[in-house]
Amino acid sequence: MEWTKEQRYRKMDDVTKEEIQALANIVNQCPWRQSFHIQPVTGLLNDPNGFAYFNGEYHLFYQWFPLGPVHGLKHWYHTKSTNLVNWENVGMAIEPSNEFDSHGAYSGSALEHEGKLYLLYTGNTRDQNWNRHPYQCLAVMNQNGDIIKMDNPVIGDVPSGYTDHFRDPKIWKQEDEFYTVIGAQRENETGCVVLYRSDNLVDWQFVGEMKTDLENFGYMWECPDYFEMDEQGVLIFSPQGLEAEGDAYQNIYQSGYVIGQPIDIETKELTHGHFLELDRGFDFYAPQTTMDAKGRRILVGWMGLPEIDYPTDKNGWAHCLTLPRELSIKDGKLIQQPVDELKLLRSERMEAEKIVRNEAITLEDFESETFEMIAEFSASTAKEFGLELRVGENEKTVIKYDAVEKKVVFDRTHSGQPFAEKFGTVRKCKLDAKTVSFRIFVDTSSIEVFVNDGEEVFTGRIFPDKNSQGIRLFANQGQTSVKVVKWEIA
Ligand code: FRU
């Protein structure tokens, strides 16, 4: 079904409870509802927003179109948690309601200030000719969780030299001053990030464009995020318009980062190394980080991409968020590990040790639909070795190491219901290592693989049959020894 503009921009005030309930009934019958990932009650979820530790709890909002699996009038939906594992659905947080956000409360971020949580987001508006006019708007949440929007935007006009693609403010505090980066497009249609400064979160001054070496790197940079760690500056962003290059940039849009010297605010210069993708899988975009009370830098991404149809669409919903990952830096690269609290998900444990030689062996009694698994491969002579998960009569999802090419491979060609095949069904990335370990989280319709303690991560949605639950180990042209531990996730 094609959604008309009227359907996409309907106000929630015009929607009856019965209509939402009818949609929720369809959603709840979907065989691919997740069991331990944040997902929308109905409709479409996209970017994580306003991720913050505030008043003793983690708050995580996301972009939400409640009425169906399409990009329409965007709201902020609010979830919270005390442990990053069990999330409570709080409900609608920011509704587009005035002339400065009439066509969507777009992405933004949060920062605590004087006992309140400040939410800075992009108000998307369209005029009669459907031309876009973005504003940066502020809403404030108190300790009871009440959110009040300010009447006027805190950043109005787009500065000269940039187009109306100007959005997704990410705030931070540095030496008693507040800063925000905003994703932008120059008038020559290249992407970049601009910087603003404030001393009260309400009055903002344009500082200028962040200077990087990436002068001509896609046509728009969405969802920038800047932070410092180990005395280095990290800029994460999601560039649109990069051509595929070998194993890199295979998805419709990319998400990655550069690391370098901390930004020099006076010259706005960020001296940095190469752009690296954050995730080597299929479904990952627009991540956002926060720093928690333990001083950890934690990242959550959208497990999905724009402009792609997913098999859950027919059940009235789409997408979920990734598991939270703790970041660290090693050798100029971000290491991403599942936050320690995720061990709380573990229930029944099983383990096995095997030598696998020119064969595929089924791990009897390991069958599962939702689980965590750690597989460590060592003393390998095989040309390739790995795992097959969610195995059924005609289905399997393959995670393997190609020892000849020295690459990790994620193959979802036979994972189940096909989708997004135009962008290929295999993802690879270089990994030169003697031993290989995969820490894997499998939910009803997704898989996240942390390779060698978070050196690389592969994330992807998969849509297998409920009965495809087998787990197999294999080695081709040689042997490998494998140690496997698996925990059921109930
Ligand atoms: C990224 C994005 C953001 C925008 C939001 C709208 O996925 O396009 O740039 O703020 O989604 O939902």
b/e map 235-247, b = 16+ CB within 10 Å: bbbbbbbbeeeeb
Contact status, residue 166 vs residue 144, Cβ threshold 8 Å:
no
pTM above 0.95, yes or no: yes
Contact status, residue 279 vs residue 458, Cβ threshold 8 Å:
yes
Q: For 79-133, write each residue's pLDDT tens digit.
A: 999 999 999 999 999 999 999 999 999 999 999 999 999 999 999 999 999 999 9
Q: How far apart are CA 20 and CA 66, in angstroms?
A: 8
Spacing, Cα 49 to ligand 1 middle (Å): 10
- Please provide the distance, in angstroms rounded to a whole number, between the alpha carbons at the two ends of the chain: 35
H or E, element range at 8: helix 5-8
Spacing, Cα 353 to ligand 1 middle (Å): 45
The total of other beta-carbon atoms located within 10 Å of residue 87's CB is 18
Q: For 416-443, write each residue's pLDDT tens digit.
A: 999 999 999 999 999 999 899 999 999 9
> Which segments of the chain belong to CATH 2.115.10.20?
5-338
Q: pLDDT at position 226, please?
A: 98
Q: How far is CA 117 from CA 41, 87, 124, 169, 183, in A?
A: 25, 19, 22, 15, 22
Of the chain, the percentage scoring pLDDT greater than 70 comes to 100
- In words, the CATH class of domain 346-489 is mainly beta
Q: For 449-463, write each residue's pLDDT tens digit.
A: 999 999 999 999 999
Q: Is the CB of 167 under 6 A from ligand 1?
A: yes
Nearest atom of ligand 1 to the alpha carbon of 107 = 10
CATH 3.30.1360.120 corresponds to the domain 5-338 = no
Nearest atom of ligand 1 to the alpha carbon of 285 = 7
Average pLDDT on 253-276 reads 97
Average pLDDT on 60-69 reads 98
Q: How confident is the model at residue 182 (pLDDT cuts 50, 70, 90)?
A: very high
Total residue length of the chain? 490
Q: pLDDT at position 285, please?
A: 98
pLDDT at 289 over 80: yes
Of the chain, the percentage scoring pLDDT greater than 90 comes to 99
The residues that are catalytic are 47
Q: Is the CB of 101 under 6 A from ligand 1?
A: no
pLDDT at 373 over 80: yes
Q: How far is CA 484 from CA 263, 349, 408, in A?
A: 43, 11, 18
pLDDT at 1 over 80: no
Contacts of residue 297, defined as CB under 8 A and 6 or more positions apart, other chains included, come to 227, 229, 289, 290, 291, 326, 327, 328
Q: Is the CB of 47 under 6 A from ligand 1?
A: yes
Among candidates 170, 201, 189, 139, which has minimal Cα distance to 287?
170
> Which segments of the chain belong to CATH 2.60.120.560?
346-489
Mean residue pLDDT across the chain: 98
Among candidates 41, 123, 46, 25, which has minimal Cα distance to 90?
41
Note the Cα 163 to chain centre separation in Å.
26
Spacing, Cα 254 to ligand 1 middle (Å): 13
Q: pLDDT at position 132, please?
A: 98
Q: pLDDT at position 90, please?
A: 98
